[in-house]
Structure 1
């Protein structure tokens, strides 16, 4: 019997790249050479190269290169964005007609588990790393990547974590042992509960915080892990712990808000970002069918312009808010779309870096946690810090509410992959405006259709995997 790892293991055994190319201390994104997964990690240099390859896997189009950012936005499409493209798998996400055979669910699942397996291979090979500092760093990086991907998987393929509940709803399989051969791939896999997956994510990130260095150019640091753990706790509605970690990152990471929000996306590894996917014009996720700029941009011959920003959302920005002006919301000029339609300026170049974690999010987490705890003055300071960076009119204390804080999250983090997850954790239904003969309606945020199916291929090869309801 084959399991979810059978395909990836077969590829590894035939020479799937684990990123074992020549590299220096910086993240090398050049094409990697192929190696034998069962013997490759026999020395310190190869383990280090495998870590580089692990980061490169994160930037693939089915992970953060496109889908882990695009899919949560499309699944929460309401009076926010409109998908105008022809790809049936994305259109089904928007229309909430996804079935178990959708390619998006299969490829994201497959490639996430391949990257998790790379992390497991790195951890397994740590005994050959003879330099103590590197051994600690490599383990921390592997645990960080593993935690990051399990967090993404459990949010997409499992129901929302319920604070105070047993969270026995099914999540995703957890594997902490590297698969190196087809024989090892025959171990049956079952879905862990949502509670178990979150426990694993938190354990890995807690370990990563202790193992990672404070400085690690273009790669994860102890503050990157703290920031991600703050995001995890926020998703759990554990606001006290989220606040502690966000505050630590703000105070001690040495990071600072960039002068403008647009510079975060046009620059590289800015003062604001704690982690970016490293891309350049030669090596990026963008092709005719992939890449964030492919779907979001509409500039002459560049981009498909598949994601339109709706006026109802654009109008939420105030007159002085730079986030609603041409630097971050522009009228597309693409030849395949109607003139005058709005697009986001966050994703406009194939080779741009992809910010995954940035300091503004930490200010927003701290503000929300403080507001919920009754510390209104502190929450107001943090919200206005984010707003005034973009020349938005500061809020006053009477204007501050949970609704305005959550709206500020949407205004600041729009098009970055947060939308669906924020609606789920706040139990906010999705408003679908009227269209043609279809009246306006609401989609229950707990609906089964807002959870991705376990890929049909995985169900077929591993009967122990239980399909999500509705598929």
Structure 2
């Protein structure tokens, strides 16, 4: 498994304080960008801080405290906004309640933090990419560039899917996405929103570069197969099924990752090198598993079941023996009467971002749509996934069955909204392309940057 080790180093980019020994700098309240990027060690520290922003930590708990985008908050927002009948919302946070009700306002806290933290990560990454000349070792320079482009491609892909309308495989995709910023932070810079087409092109460029630059194994950080796995997601969202199939197939054939013996073994672990392709570390000392916060009982570290599993979701299973159906537990105390998912039952489990099971589903769906059998025939692939969860084999496949298997396998992991949009299914009584299923551009960002055009319905 690729995860981010604990290494909290603050580097001055736009006002952060840095006095860590690793940077070999004299303690002071601020340093110049030239000093902060003077050595390979310093540039690498900036890259590590980009990872930490995504994970939701700040150096020594110094402000700003980040949102925890990749430790659960993105997944929660996607599944609440994309909910049709899979979960119920029982919490008190107004920003999450508004997502569940599909009634966002232009200062929704989830949208604001998503936008702000994403560009904070991008600012760090761009600073790294602007200082690759500090590396004399070519292999180290390639690794750092690959990791930086992996992060930037990942962030822009997640942003364009929530702040812009769904990619149209048959259109010119001139709908507005998010601003593409490829230079280090500059508070005087004002950039308008780029089109969805342009953002996807940037995402694919970054991830393709990352896959070519990163080694097959990279210790605790993103490697070639993490980049290819995200590329498979991107191509699937575009309905580019041949490219999605081939990227997923390379991960399945060459990465060394396989399905765990049981469904339960794939979750709530500190170190799962078998199924997990990439995840973000959470420990008692650093980070918070935000999925646990909102899905788990108080006894297990959560808030008591803010998000509960519905009977309607459980009825999507065709057999009571399916381990995925039974991977739940009853709430207690304030969550008494709720059914809660066991995927996030441990408070300090790592936040898994990519599992090999997803690659099987991407390859199976793509093969089915194309009438091909690269890697495995689609029916064999789906039945292998079902067998892992003690579900009986299917005799034949339809696209609806494949999409249902995807929902059963990946539930509560941040796929619902995007899968329903790309397959043009109604979402909670709304059409898949309804403006209410797109995040607002935060008003505070528009106040600072008058070039930012608001999404329809949020003025």
TM (norm. structure 2) is 0.89
Task: Report what 1:174 is aligned to.
Answer: 180
Deviation track 1:314-334 (CA, whole Å, cap 9, x = no partner) reads 122321111111xx211112x
Shift of the alpha carbon at 1:65? 1.7
Task: Report what 1:365 is aligned to.
Answer: 362
Pairing 1:269-280 to 2, within 5 Å after superposition: 269-280=272-283
1:34, 1:252 → 2: CA distance?
47
C-alpha distance 262-36 of structure 1, shift in aligned 2 (>3 A): farther
C-alpha distance 208-21 of structure 1, shift in aligned 2 (>3 A): farther
Matched, 1:59 2:46: no
Task: Report what 1:320 is aligned to.
Answer: 321
Matched, 1:98 2:104: yes
Task: Report what 1:451 is aligned to.
Answer: 438
2:21, 2:444 → 1: CA distance?
32
Task: Report what 1:82 is aligned to.
Answer: 88
Shift of the alpha carbon at 1:393? 1.2
Task: Report what 1:158 is aligned to.
Answer: 164
CA contact (8 A) 2:12 2:36 kept: no
CA contact (8 A) 1:293 1:348 kept: yes
CA contact (8 A) 2:87 2:308 kept: yes
Runs of 4+ in 1 over 4 A off after TM superposition: 19-23
Deviation track 1:55-93 (CA, whole Å, cap 9, x = no partner) reads 211112341123211000000122110111011111111
Task: Report what 2:228 is aligned to.
Answer: 226
C-alpha distance 163-34 of structure 1, shift in aligned 2 (>3 A): farther
CA contact (8 A) 1:21 1:49 kept: no
C-alpha distance 34-276 of structure 1, shift in aligned 2 (>3 A): farther
Q: More deviation in 214-223 or 194-203?
A: 214-223
Give the paired residue count: 428
Deviation track 1:393-431 (CA, whole Å, cap 9, x = no partner) reads 11112xx11001001111110111011000000001024
Task: Report what 2:4 is aligned to.
Answer: none
Deviation track 1:103-138 (CA, whole Å, cap 9, x = no partner) reads 111111000000011111111111111221110000
Structure 1 residue runs of 5 or longer lacking an equivalent are 1-9, 24-32, 432-441
1:115, 1:387 → 2: CA distance?
38
Out of 407, 412, 416, the residue aligned to residue 415 of structure 1 is 412
Out of 451, 454, 458, the residue aligned to residue 464 of structure 1 is 451
Q: Secondary structure at the match of 2:456?
A: coil
Shift of the alpha carbon at 1:299? 4.9
Task: Report what 2:115 is aligned to.
Answer: 109
Pairing 1:274-293 to 2, within 5 Å after superposition: 274-286=277-289, 291-293=290-292
Task: Report what 2:387 is aligned to.
Answer: 388
2:31, 2:441 → 1: CA distance?
29
CA contact (8 A) 1:20 1:46 kept: no
* CA root-mean-square deviation: 2.0
Task: Report what 1:4 is aligned to.
Answer: none
1:309, 1:455 → 2: CA distance?
30
Q: Secondary structure at the match of 1:185?
A: coil
CA contact (8 A) 1:76 1:430 kept: yes
CA contact (8 A) 2:177 2:196 kept: yes
